Structure 1
Amino acid sequence: MSNQQETSPVAQPDPIPAPTGIVVGIDGSEQSNCALIWAAREAKARQVPLHLVTAYTVPIFAASGLDGGYATVDDDVIRQGAEAVLREAAGKVSEIDVELDARVENGDAAGVLLELSETAELLVFGTRGRGGFIGRLLGSVSSALPAHAQCPTVTVPLSCAARLGADASVKPPVIEKVVTVGVDGSDEARYAVLVAAEQAERSGLSLRIICAVHPYTGSLSWMPAPVDRDSLFAEIQEQLDAGEKWIRNHFPKLDIDVQLIEGTPVDVLVKASETTELLVLGTRGRGGFAGMMLGSTTDGVRHHAKSPIMVVKDREDPRQDDRAAFGPLLQA
């Protein structure tokens, strides 16, 4: 695999083939720098190309005065600024041996990244960026991408700067060598477990599966009638044990830990994010005794997590076909 120094860090006028590796959104902010470092290391680990992308739109201003009309900013000037941002970004990962290319796209940032997600293996971006000519690449855009991207997405918060070595002034936190995944019994969560297991196995990490259940008060709106707490937790644990046997069957060499935790799902997962290498969630879940772990919870976790968050869109996987053979499933 060639080093990125052999490739121009600025997109060329000729059409560039659709990306098949990892795409990372760049806008020059600290948030996108964190995303860039994480994406470059992940591309090296997966032995796939890394694609740096920034997008912009040409602003149009309404003229005032006697002469009505509209004025536009010079497209060449904006593009040159965007190219400079990409050159600077490429320099930040120059020591990582990964095949790299970069492109400047003219258009809506969300639309550009969503289109690239159709062929990309992974889409990576920061939690929030800055405005300006790059079109708020990592601001509101980052909220729309996980639910609509055609490939898994990874959001890298600015709080990861210390653990990634991007902020030398802050002491890195102690991080466990583990990939954590939240489950709630939905099909989306089961597929997320498979993706998390693949990530853990590829990275040489262990897998932690967490099911969080809202604290029992004896009268919860999502329960049809008061139930015995111990019986409830015993039932959930039985189904989690069956799920553990299922995932161990597909990943026999993987170190797996399953935890049933009483607590608000967002709080439990945000707490877990403080010490995990990566937190994996599905795009949406369903209700039931697991308390709608995924869905609105995914957004809540992404806004407060301390680790990179991988959001996995549900898709059919033949490995799910034999899940029922290992015991009862979590039911909504």
Structure 2
Amino acid sequence: MTTTPSILVGVDGSLASLHALDWATALAKKCGASLTIACSYSLPTFAAASLDGGYAALDDSTIQEGARMVLSSAAERVTAHGVPVSAQIASGDPAGALVELSQGHNLVVVGTRGRSGFAERILGTVSSALPAHSACPVVVVPGRDLKEDEPLPAITPVNRIIVGVDGSDSAHGALHKAVHFAQLFDAELVAVTGVPVTSGSGILAWLPAAVDHEQVLKDIEGGLNTIIDAVEDENPGMTIRRIVLDGTGAELLTEFSQAADLLVVGSRGRGGFAGLLLGSTSQAVLHHSQCPVLIINKKADQAEPLDVSPAQNQQPE
């Protein structure tokens, strides 16, 4: 018996979360998946201590009702596209709630900007909790330029996928997930390796000046070809473009995001992609990418992948 794939979406009523919801809805429609939309809330820690009204008036039931309204509106948005949807309210920190709810789902989708919860908590200093600890892959959909007085942009079809590869186990898992998504969308797949050779910083900064940097790049290109050749052999009929450039992973992925429809990265890497989702490099990619970013951690690498039936083999609308 086949289990229906399920996508979890964090919503908070903001434009960014609605845009992420639209992206997830289009994907769910393509895959024949169902959506679970979740809204998390928490009371201010000093609410109960207020003696003169103020936050004391915002009791648990009042905030729950606000969360229910957010979920009801989001559910109507999904139902309009014919996608099965269920809703869930969770109390506590949004990132922690989504990590817990991620078990039993195939994918989690969130936006980059939110209302008092998702943006700063999921993409702030403590934000790596969701991408690093989720039980399934996480997609972060950018929403930085959305305006209240303008309609949300249409969802862009996924025609080109960029994956960051650096030879690490994490990047290897990301590469295999990128292959799956490329097959899912019938999209072009491009593997990118970033090595800061001439920048004077990074993993090659210690090399003597006499070292042939061009040869270093060629050697790394040879290593990338070995990895990609093996993956292509495992997936007959698939061709993966390979690109090796001088630069850091954050710089290159951010630049490539302008010409990509989906970036795929691992949560821990080496070289140009070292520390993704753990420090400033990851924050740069997540905050500045022009397209959705799919993050794979070790646990997510073992999650059941989304699949698509022949009857639904069409690009998201």
Q: TM-score, normalised by structure 2?
A: 0.80
Aligned twin of 1:191: 173
Matched, 1:157 2:150: no
Residues 112 and 144, structure 2, Cα contact 8 Å, conserved in 1: no
Structure 1 unaligned segments of length 5 or more: list them. Answer: 1-18, 318-332
2: distance between equivalents of 1:193 and 1:160? 30
Residues 53 and 104, structure 1, Cα contact 8 Å, conserved in 2: yes
Aligned twin of 2:188: 206
2:49 to 51, 62, 75: 62
Residues 271, 308 of structure 1: CA spacing in aligned structure 2 closer, same or farther, 3 A cutoff?
Answer: same
Aligned twin of 2:164: 182
Residues 122 and 152, structure 1, Cα contact 8 Å, conserved in 2: yes
Residues 229, 46 of structure 1: CA spacing in aligned structure 2 closer, same or farther, 3 A cutoff?
Answer: same
Aligned twin of 1:148: 133
**Post-superposition shift, 1:245?**
0.7
Residues 197 and 205, structure 2, Cα contact 8 Å, conserved in 1: no
- Which residues in structure 2 correspond to 1:95-244 (within 5 Å)? 95-131=80-116, 136-142=117-123, 143-144=127-128, 145-159=130-144, 167=152, 177-216=159-198, 222-226=204-208, 227-244=211-228
1: distance between equivalents of 2:156 and 2:50? 56
Residues 192 and 314, structure 1, Cα contact 8 Å, conserved in 2: no
2: distance between equivalents of 1:267 and 1:202? 27
1:233-277 C-alpha deviation (Å, 9 max, x unpaired): 111111111112111012222231111112232121111111211
1:265 to 245, 249, 262: 249
**Post-superposition shift, 1:203?**
1.1
Residues 90 and 97, structure 2, Cα contact 8 Å, conserved in 1: yes
Residues 91, 293 of structure 1: CA spacing in aligned structure 2 closer, same or farther, 3 A cutoff?
Answer: same
1:306 to 287, 290, 294: 290
Residues 260, 293 of structure 1: CA spacing in aligned structure 2 closer, same or farther, 3 A cutoff?
Answer: farther
Aligned twin of 1:86: 71
The code of the aligned residue for 1:185 comes to G
**Post-superposition shift, 1:87?**
1.4
- Which residues in structure 2 correspond to 1:23-42 (within 5 Å)? 23-42=8-27
Greater length-normalized contact order (CA 8 Å, ≥ 6 residues apart)? 2
Residues 37, 72 of structure 1: CA spacing in aligned structure 2 closer, same or farther, 3 A cutoff?
Answer: same
2: distance between equivalents of 1:219 and 1:79? 50
Aligned twin of 2:313: none
2: distance between equivalents of 1:28 and 1:294? 28
1: distance between equivalents of 2:72 and 2:202? 55
**Post-superposition shift, 1:71?**
4.1
Give the number of aligned pairs: 284
Q: TM-score, normalised by structure 1?
A: 0.77
Residues 51 and 102, structure 1, Cα contact 8 Å, conserved in 2: yes
Residues 283, 160 of structure 1: CA spacing in aligned structure 2 closer, same or farther, 3 A cutoff?
Answer: farther
1: distance between equivalents of 2:226 and 2:134? 31
The farther-off stretch of 194-203 and 217-226 is: 217-226
Aligned twin of 2:236: 252
The farther-off stretch of 103-112 and 271-280 is: 103-112
Larger Rg: 1
RMSD value over aligned CA atoms?
2.8
1: distance between equivalents of 2:156 and 2:103? 36
